[in-house]
Amino acid sequence: MNFNLSEEVRAIQDMARKFVQNEITPRMAEDDANHAFQEDLVKEMGRLGFFGCPIPEEYGGSGLGFLAHAVVTEEVSKVGGSLRAAFNMQTMGTAREIYQFGTEEQKRKYVPKLASAEYLGCIGITEPNAGTDVAALKTRADKKGDMYVLNGSKTWITYAQVADVGVVYAYTDPTQKHKGLSAFIVDLHSDGVSTGPTAGKMGWNACPTGQIYFDDVRVPAENLLGGEEGKGFKCVMGSLDNTRLTAASGGVGMSQGLIDASIKYAQEREQFGKPIGTFQMVQEELARMIVETEAARLLTYRCAAQKDEGNLNNSLETNMAKFYAADVSSRVADGALRILGAYGYSTEYPVERLLRDAKVNQILEGSANILKMIIATDALGYRKANK
Ligand SMILES: Cc1cc2nc3c(=O)[nH]c(=O)nc-3n(C[C@H](O)[C@H](O)[C@H](O)COP(=O)(O)OP(=O)(O)OC[C@H]3O[C@@H](n4cnc5c(N)ncnc54)[C@H](O)[C@@H]3O)c2cc1C
């Protein structure tokens, strides 16, 4: 498998690296401390084409592909998780999902505006009693003439309070279990939509997370994703196969950010008259961090390259990449904290933020348990992951 990046991909990777250095890094700590949503940065990333890689040019993207999406996400994630969230809110969970599952009219209407961040997007799956068990959600969409009427609530929704449109999952026929689940493109400025923040959270602080309430919200029937009822489960699973690639890339980027901070510190900090980088135990920690991150990167690039080859249903390889990259980012954050000592615990350095942000990698877009279950049941022959 060839992971050589084309000239165009290297150019956007370089642009992302410079954007991180010049625009994001100088204000990241302050925005995180103030819980300030970095809307201007999201909009600018949209204008620069960061969200359009896996979207064809015809629909407002660059068509550079999934590997390009992975490397750009990786660059932006080096400073934390708050902005990496945008790669799923604007691309994988919304624009790319509408591109894959939507009608021609839906694609033309929404994909370019999400990819350019003219519209902010969100993904409405989780509910108070439906986390991992997606089929347990209770939101209803009842057909009334040429409208669906939405009732229910969503929780833990990234961008809930700021999004213009959401891909929202609701039952059109709850008697059919997951076969009665449908997906809708919902205008979140519609009458009957209200939002509120979730309780305070540990990380991703420069990115809002909230609840969305639907109270008799009228959604035009033409906004039923793909124009067919009962396709919601297929759409959500297809979408997770893409959002997990972003999550894996996020894990790799955070790990690399932690390694970079650790190397710099280990070269500068002196104890016993020498840089701490000369101590073998610090070197052992660093070597482990580097090798695990490189392994996570290879799994992530393999997953992306397979998708670029047209294998979009590579759930097994996607789940491996997401599980491993998430786990590694947590371990690398522990290692970085050990190398920086008290300064790793201080808000003066990026390590404490990256550690808090890395933790969520093991929860959202498929918890570690679920990903391990998919990998093991495939190996045991109980249930094939790649359909
Ligand atoms: C910061 C943040 C942002 C989020 N953004 C979004 C968003 O934009 N849109 C959205 O829809 N959701 C979002 N979520 C929700 C996220 O997707 C859920 O948290 C996730 O699906 C897990 O659900 P849960 O937290 O309710 O855990 P639960 O499903 O209650 O699981 C709790 C624990 O039990 C384990 N468990 C559950 N079932 C099994 C099983 N069958 N076998 C073994 N172990 C099991 C899980 O692995 C986990 O360890 C976000 C969450 C966070 C923290």
Catalytic positions are 365
**Total residues belonging to the chain:** 387
Pairwise CA distance, residues 52 & 62, whole Å: 6
Local confidence band at 175 (pLDDT 50, 70, 90 cut-offs): very high
Ligand 1 atom with minimal separation from the 159 CA: 8
- pLDDT value of residue 247: 98
- For residue 300, CA distances in Å to 8, 37, 95, 324, 379 come to 20, 28, 21, 9, 20
Q: What is the pLDDT of residues 38-75, one digit of tens each?
A: 999 999 999 999 999 999 999 999 999 999 999 999 99
Q: Take atom 43 of ligand 1 and give the residue whose Cα is closest.
A: 369
Pairwise CA distance, residues 29 & 349, whole Å: 9
- pLDDT value of residue 120: 98
Pocket probe for ligand 1: among 188, 211, 367, the residue whose CB has the most ligand atoms within 8 Å is: 367
What's the CATH architecture for 122-232?
Beta Barrel (2.40)
Q: Are 64 and 53 in contact (CB under 8 A)?
A: yes
Q: Take atom 7 of ligand 1 and give the residue whose Cα is closest.
A: 157
> For strand 165-171 and strand 270-271, is the pairing parallel, antiparallel, or unpaired?
unpaired
Q: Take atom 26 of ligand 1 and give the residue whose Cα is closest.
A: 131
> Average pLDDT for residues 87-112, to the nearest whole number?
98
- pLDDT value of residue 104: 98
**Per-residue three-class SS string for 179-206:** HHEEEEEEECCCCCEEEEECCCCCCCCC
Local confidence band at 177 (pLDDT 50, 70, 90 cut-offs): confident
Pairwise CA distance, residues 148 & 131, whole Å: 24
Ligand 1 atom with minimal separation from the 369 CA: 47
> Average pLDDT for residues 20-30, to the nearest whole number?
97
> Does the structural domain 233-380 have CATH classification 3.30.750.24?
no
- pLDDT value of residue 342: 98
> Average pLDDT for residues 339-364, to the nearest whole number?
97
- pLDDT value of residue 387: 84
Domain ranges in the chain with CATH number 1.20.140.10: 233-380
Q: How far is the CA of 22 from the centre of ligand 1 (A)?
A: 34
Q: 7-120: CATH homologous superfamily?
A: Acyl-CoA dehydrogenase/oxidase, N-terminal domain (1.10.540.10)
- pLDDT value of residue 122: 98
